Amino acid sequence: MKIYITRHGQTKWNVEGRMQGAKNSDLTERGKLDAVKLGSSLKDTKIDYIYTSPLTRAYDTALLINGDRNIPIEVYENLKEMNFGTWEGMHRAEVINDYKDEHHRFWNEPHLYQPNGGETFDELIKRTENTLNDIISKNNGENILLVTHTIVIKAIYAILKKYEVKDFWNPPYIKNTCLTILDYNEGNFKFILEADTSHT
């Protein structure tokens, strides 16, 4: 079983430097184009199902990757991005100014981060692990594509590479529409490709 994982395309809030989290922001033209390019690069790859976050930036990316292939797409609530609470919609500069200490912990000491109305890293990792296990159990032996978000993808890396939360931000960097490929066989995962952007 192969598991293909990608982040949504570039959004307007990405360009503006806003914190997105569980809020929506539309894809830019660059974001749409990169999603189409990823779809083209996967046109000869057998994918049986696409699971996408409900957030429009991910769902629209899934549609563009799918193109005219008619692969079934299922919206999966728990593939949505980490909830940032009061930070959502704020510019990063505003967050740094208003929540300096927590912003530092978020990026440098995630095990100490305490959200204001959002999720902790532990909560996000648990949600992601449950989601990954649930989706795999539904697709025994079938190849799937997950269209999701940076921190969910980082959580998958942390789970499979057995990182402690303090090491959550270990490389690789998760760029828009980057592709990670996992091979799954009887409970064992193997990374085949990590955060590749050669299609863009």
Give the active site residues: 8, 81
* Chain center to CA of 163: 17
* d(C-alpha 200, C-alpha 195), whole Å: 12
- DSSP for 32-51 reads HHHHHHHHHHTTTS---EEE
The number of CA neighbours under 13 Å toward the Cβ of 124 is: 29
Single-letter code of the amino acid located at 8: H
151 class by beta-carbon count within 10 Å (0-12 exposed, 13-18 middle, 19+ buried): buried
* d(C-alpha 77, C-alpha 63), whole Å: 17
3-state secondary structure of 114: coil
